[in-house]
Chains A and B, each alone.
Chain A
Amino acid sequence: MPQTDQVTLECESLTKTYYSTDPPTQVLNGIDLAVKRGEFLVVMGASGSGKSSLLYSISGMDRPTGGNVTLEGRELTSMKDPEVSRVRLTSMGFIFQQAYFLSNLNIQDNILLPALKATPKDKAGVVARVDALMERFGIEHVKRHGITQVSGGQLQRASICRALAGEPTILFADEPTGALNSSMTAEVMDALSDVHSGGTTLVMVTHDPACAARADRIVYLKDGLLVDSRELGAWTKEDAKRREDEVFAWLSEKGF
C-alpha cells in the first residue's frame, strides 16, 4: 500500500539533552519532522549526529527534554509511562541492531510475548497470527528453538515477526542490519520492504546507503539538527541499483 498524505507521527521543536555528562550534551537541537502514514522513512547521519536519540524520543522510549511528539493525533510527550507503554504495545513495533530476546523463552514465545500481553484473552487468535507471520518470514521450522540455536538472520526475522505480531501502525528499526553480513542484510531488508508494502509505516535508522535506498524518503541529521532530506519514491527491485547510486552520491556530497 503506498504512502498517503495523512501524517501519522509528528514532532515539533524536539530537543534532547543528556545531563549525565559534564557538561550536559544536547543531542537534539529542535527537530521538526512529520512521518506520513505508510511511509518508509530513513534517518541518516554521521555517528553522534542524534539519529538513535531521535528514534527513541519519537517512539516514547526516552522522554525528550523539550518539544512534543504526536502519534495519530495523541500527544505522547504529555502521557504518563504506563500510557506510553500501552501505545508502544498496541501501536508500535521495534527492531534493533542486536536481536534482544529473552533467553528463557523459545523463538515462538518471544514473538508471542507482546501480542499476548496486549490481548491475553485471545490466545488462539494471537498464536495463529504469529504462526502465520513466522511462516511468511520463513522461520516457522525454528519456532521451538532457543535463541542461541538459530542464525543472526533468523533472529532478526524473528524480531520483525515480534514487531509485527501486535499489528502496529508504525515500526521503528535502529540499525537492523548493523550486525549482519551481506546475505543476511538482504534477507532482512527484503522482509522490511515486504512489511512496508503491506502498508506499515516504517522509520529506520541506518548507516548503510544500500539499505537507505529502499526508503521513500531519507532525512539527514547533523549535530542534532535536520539539515536535509531527499524523496526517493517507491522502491522496486529493478530500480535498486540506480537508487543506491543516487543515495550514495547524495551522501557523498554531505561528506558522509
Chain B
Amino acid sequence: MKPRDSISTRYILNDLIKNKGVNLALLVILVLSAFLMATGSMVMERLVGSVNQLFDEAKPPHFLQMHKGEYDQAALDRFAAEHPEIDAWVVEEMLGFDSAALAWERPSTGENGDLADSLIDNLFVTQNPDFDFLIDQDGEIPRPSAGEAYVPVAYEQRFELAIGDELRVKTAEGFQELTIAGFVRDSQMASSLSSATRFLVSEADFEALSEAGGGAPEIIVEYRLTDASLVSDFQRAYESDEALPKNGQAVTYQMIRVINAFSDGLVAMALMFVSLLLIAISLLNARFVIRGTLEDEVREIGAMKAIGLPNKSISGLYLSKYRAMTFLACVAGGLLAIVATNLLTRTVQVNYAEAPLGLSTFLVPVLALALVYVFVVGICRRVFKKIRKIQVVNALVHGSTLDDRQTARRAKRQAKRVRRTSLAAFRGTNVNRRLAWLDLRAESAQWILIPVVFFLASVLMTLPMNLLSTFESPKFVTYLGAQESDVRVDLQFSEDVDTVREDVLAAMRQDERLTAVRTYANVLYEAEGEDGWEIFRVEVGDYSDGSVAFTEGGRPESGQIAVSVLNADKYELSPGDDFTIRLDGASTTLTVSGVYQDVTSGGYTAKMEGEVTAGAAAYVFYADSAEGEDPAAIAADYGDEFPSAASIPMREYVTQTLSYVTDAFRSAAVLSFVFGIGVAALITSLFLKLRLTSDRQKMGMLSAVGFSTSEIIAQVRGKTLFAVAVGTVLGPVFAATGGESVVGSFIALAGLGIADLAFIPNPLLVYLVYPLALISAGYLTALALTARLRGADKSAWLRG
C-alpha cells in the first residue's frame, strides 16, 4: 500500500469510528438512493427486455381492426392485393364468452370455482398460422389437440389454475369441457390495462363452440407489414376504404407497445422518481456535513497547509471518505436491487416473457449506479474546493474557514443585520421566541436544510399518494372517456342494434333500481385528413349535465362539436374553430366548443349534442343505481337479458382494470411514505446533532446568564418545528401545482390521450394526515435529541 493510501484508509477508519451517527445516517440515505436508482433502472431494463422478448416470439400485428358482424371477404382480399407493404395478414375469428360462463374443476381434489369475478372479455381463438401467436411459458407456440385449452397466464395467477384442471364453458347447448393443457401469454392483450384476453383451443373445439352457440362471434383483421414505420399511412388507407370491416376499434403496433410499457413502466418510473428525490436529499445532507467538517477541522486543515501539503492532497484525504461511502452505498444498493427487481418483475416475467440476461442487464444498473457515484462524488468535490480558499493564519489563529475578504464581508453583513434588530425595540415579551426567530434568520443558510428536506420528503410522499387516489377515484373514469356512473351498457357491432337499443333503453327507464339513465350513440362520420376523407368517431348525446370535464372550452351545443385532445392535435383544432365532417356524403360544418381527454378508441373521439336513435355503429347507456342496489347484480341481469349487450358495473370494472396500476401506486405510496418519514427523521436527527454540537458555547452562555435548560431546549424545538412546518406545508402545495404538471406531462408523453392529468387527491390524507405525520416525525426527533441536554454540566458546553 502506498503511504498516501494508508493515510487515507486510516483517516477514513478513524472518522467512521469518531462520527458513527453522522456517517451512518449519510450512508443509509446513500444506500437508499443507490438502491432505488438501481432497482428502477433494472425493472425498466427487464420490462423492456420482457416486452421485446414476447414481441419477438409472438410477432404481434402492426395494425389490427376489430369488427363484429358480417364482413366482405372479397374486399379484404382485394385490399391485400393492392398493398404490397403487407407481409402477412389474417382474419382471426373469435368467440367471446362472459366470465360467468366459465368454470373450472380440479379432478384430483374436486376443487372448483368460476371466473365470474373477472370483468374483462374472454375470447376463444385458434392459433394463428403466421403471426400474432399466443406463446406458452416455455416461449413455444402451442397447438392444442382436441379437448385441450390454453388459458391466459393472468388467470393462472388470479384463480390459481393448474395444468390438468377442467375448464367448463357454458354454451347455449350446455357445458363443453376442455382440459387445461397450459397457459399462454398474449402480446396484444398482455398489458394489465387490457380489457380482453384470449383462450387458445383446437380448430375442432372452436367449431364445436361456435355451433353450440352462446358465444359472441367477433373478428380481428390483422396485418403485419414489411416495415412497421408504414403503419400510419396503412391505417389511413384502410380506414378510407369503405368496403372493409371496421365497426370496432383499430389498434396499431405503437399503441400495443405504449400500453404495454405504460402500465408496468409506471412502477419503474415511480421508483426512479423516488430515487431522484432521495439523491437530492443525500446531496444536501452531504454538503451540510462536509461544511460542518471543514469548520470543525479548520485548524487541522490550516496545519496541513502550513507544513506544505498541496490543496489537492488535503481535499483528496477528506474526499476519500465520501468516495468510499458512496462506493459502498452503490455496491450495497446494487445488491439489494437484484433482490427487489426479482420480486417486482415476477408478474412482468409471467405476463410477458422471461427476458434473457444480456449485456444490458448488467450494464444498465451499473451505468445508473455509476451516474449516482459520479454525481455524488462530483458535488462533494465541489464543496471541498473551499479548502483552497482557507488561509493558514485565519485557520490556525481564528479557527475560521474564511479568508480576509470573506471575513470582512461577513462582519459587514452581520453588523448591518444587528443594527436593524433590536431587543430594546422589540414589542413582545417572550425573549425566548424572539431569540429563536433571530437565530433562524441569522443561521438560515444552515437551517434551510430542514425545510428543503421536509419539502422534498413531503413531495415524495404526496405525489404517489395523489396518483393513487386519482386512479382510484370514481371520477377517474372521466379521464378514460367514460362518464361517472354505476352501470354502463355497451351495444355494438350487432345487426339488430337499433331494435335492441329501444329494448334496453325501455328496460332501463322502467327499472326502479336505476336512476339518471343517459344514452349516447357512436356515429362513424368522416373528416378530411391529410390524405382525404377518413373515419371520424362521434359520440352523440346529452351533455347538459356537465358530466364531461373539458380541458379547454366547454360542452357542445347545437351546431357545435367537442373533440378529444388527440383529435384536436391531429386536425389542429381549438375552441371557436370551424370543422367540417360528413355522414353518408352530406357535409356539416360545426364549431369546436371544447377539448376533452379520452383514452377510448385510441384517444381519437368527438362529442356532439343531440339524440341518435338509429343508424349508429354503437350505443352506450349510463345509469346510476338507486340507493342500496348492487350495480354488479343489475349489470349481470342486463347481461342475461340482452346477450348482445356488454353490461358492466362501472366502478368495479374500472377498479379491476386498473388494479395492477393502482397496486403498483399503492406499493409506491407506502414505500415513499416510509422512506419519506424515515429520511426526514434521519436528517433531522443528523442536523440537530451537528447543530447542537456547534451551538454548545452559545447554549452554555445562555445557561450562565439565566436561561434554564428547558428554555434552551424549547428554543431548539421551536426552531425545528418551524423549519419542519414550512417545508411540510410547501410540499403538498407544490405537489398540487408543479408536481401535477410534471407527472401530467409524463403521462401526456405516453400519447394515450390524457393531456392534462388533474389530481384527485384524498384531502384528509394529503393535507392533514401526511403533514401531521411529517411534522410529528420531525418534532419527535427534536424531542429525543434535545432531551439529552437535560442533566448535562453547562460548563462543559462553554468549553465547546
A interface residues, Cβ below 8 angstroms from B: 52-53, 56, 59, 61-63, 81-82, 84-86, 88-90, 92, 94, 96, 98, 100-106, 108-109, 112-114, 116-118, 120-121, 123, 127, 144-146, 148-149, 162, 166
A88, B419: Cβ atoms closer than 8 Å: no
**A85–B421 contact, CB under 8 A?**
no
- Best-surrounded residue of A52, A117, A166 (most CB of chain B within 10 A): A117
Name B residues whose Cβ lies closer than 8 Å to a Cβ of A: 410-411, 414-415, 417-419, 421-424, 429-431, 435, 438-439, 441-443, 697-698, 700-701, 703-711, 790-791, 793-796, 798
Residues of B within 8 A of A144 (CB): 418-419
15 contacts between A and B (CB under 8 A): A61-B795, A62-B793, A88-B703, A89-B707, A90-B706, A96-B704, A102-B438, A103-B442, A104-B439, A105-B438, A106-B418, A106-B419, A109-B421, A112-B424, A146-B414
Once the chains are docked, how many angstroms separate the CA of A82 from the CA of B713? 12
Given A62-B794, A86-B706, A149-B411, answer yes or no on A112-B423 (Cβ-Cβ < 8 Å).
yes
Chain B residues within an 8 Å CB radius of A104: 414, 417-418, 421, 438-439, 441-443
- Closest A residue to B430 by CB, please name it: A120
For B796, what are the chain A residues with a Cβ–Cβ distance below 8 Å? 62
Contact indicator A88/B414 (Cβ below 8 Å): no
Given contacts A102-B435, A102-B698, A120-B429, contact A63 B707 (CB under 8 A): no
Query: Is B795's CB under 8 angstroms from A146's CB?
Result: no
CA distance A198 to B391 in the complex (A): 46
Given the known interface contacts A61-B795, A100-B698, A116-B423, the answer about A81 and B707 at a Cβ–Cβ threshold of 8 Å is: no
Q: Once the chains are docked, how many angstroms separate the CA of A112 from the CA of B434?
A: 13
A81 to chain B, nearest CB (A): 5
Using A61-B703, A104-B441, A106-B422 as known contacts, say yes or no to A85 and B414 having CB atoms under 8 A apart.
no
Closest beta carbon of chain A to B389's beta carbon, Å: 19
- The chain B residue sitting closest to A90, CB to CB, is B706
Contact, CB under 8 Å: A85 / B706: yes
User: Which residues of B lie under 8 Å from residue A62 when comparing CB positions?
Assistant: 793-796
Chain A residues near B435: list those with CB within 8 A. Answer: 102, 113
Number of A-B contacts (CB under 8 A): 124
Expressed in whole angstroms, the minimum distance between the Cβ of A114 and any Cβ of chain B is 4
- Please tell me if the beta carbons of A103 and B414 are within 8 angstroms of each other in the complex: yes
Main secondary structure of the interface of B (DSSP, over half): helix
Cα–Cα distance between A45 and B443 once the two chains are bound (Å): 40
Closest to B797 in A: A61
Chain B residues with Cβ below 8 Å from A113 are 423, 431, 435, 705
- 10 more contacts with CB within 8 A, not counting A56-B795, A112-B424, are A85-B709, A89-B707, A90-B706, A94-B704, A100-B697, A104-B418, A104-B438, A108-B423, A148-B410, A148-B415
Complex Cα distance, B423 from A162, in Å, reads 14
Chain B residues near A88 (CB-CB < 8 A): 703-706
Nearest-Cβ distance from residue B302 to partner chain A, whole angstroms: 19
- Is the beta-carbon distance between A127 and B698 smaller than 8 angstroms? no
In contact, A109 and B442 (Cβ under 8 angstroms) = no
Tell which of A52, A61, A106, A109 touches B794, judged by Cβ atoms closer than 8 Å.
Answer: A61
Q: Which residues of A contact B707 (CB under 8 A)?
A: 85, 89, 117
CB distance from B694 to the nearest CB of A (A): 12
**Which residues of B are found within 8 Å of A120, using beta-carbon distances?**
429-431
CB atoms of B795 and A81 under 8 A apart: no
Report A-chain residues with C-beta under 8 Å of the C-beta of B703: 61, 85, 88
Alpha-carbon distance between A94 and B797 when the two chains are bound, in angstroms: 15
Nearest chain B CB to A154 CB, angstrom units = 14
Given A100-B698, A106-B418, A109-B422, A114 contacting B438 (CB threshold 8 A): no
Q: Write out the residue numbers on chain B whose beta carbons fall within 8 Å of the beta carbon of A92.
A: 706
CA distance A197 to B454 in the complex (A): 56
Whether the Cβ atoms of A109 and B705 lie closer than 8 Å is no
A100 to B707, CA, bound (A): 14
Write the chain A residue with the least CB distance to B415. A146
Counting from the closest, the 5 A-B pairs by CB-CB distance are A89-B706, A85-B708, A104-B442, A100-B701, A56-B795
Give B413's nearest chain A residue, CB to CB: A146
> Which of B697, B704, B791 touches A61 (beta carbons < 8 Å)?
B704
Question: How distant is the Cα of A166 from the Cα of B410 in the complex, in angstroms?
Answer: 31
B424 to chain A: which residues have CB within 8 Å?
A: 108-109, 112, 123, 127
Which residues of A lie under 8 Å from residue B429 when comparing CB positions? 120-121
Residue of A whose beta carbon sits closest to that of B791: A63
**Which of A96, A108, A113 neighbours the largest number of chain B CB atoms within 10 Å of its CB?**
A113
B712 to nearest A CB, angstroms? 9
Cβ contact of A100, chosen from B415, B417, B441, B700, cutoff 8 A: B700
C-alpha spacing A106/B710, complex, angstroms: 25
Contact (Cβ within 8 A) B794 A56 = yes
- Distance from B419 Cβ to chain A, minimum over Cβ atoms (Å): 5
Chain B residues, CB < 8 A from A90: 706
A61 and B793 in contact (CB under 8 A), knowing A100-B698, A120-B431? yes
A149 and B415 contact, Cβ closer than 8 Å, known pairs A56-B793, A104-B439: yes
Considering only CB atoms, which chain B residue lies closest to A168 in the complex?
B706
Closest to A16 in B: B793
Complex interface: chain A residues within 8 A of B414 (CB): 103-104, 146, 148
CB proximity of A123 to chain B, nearest CB, Å: 7
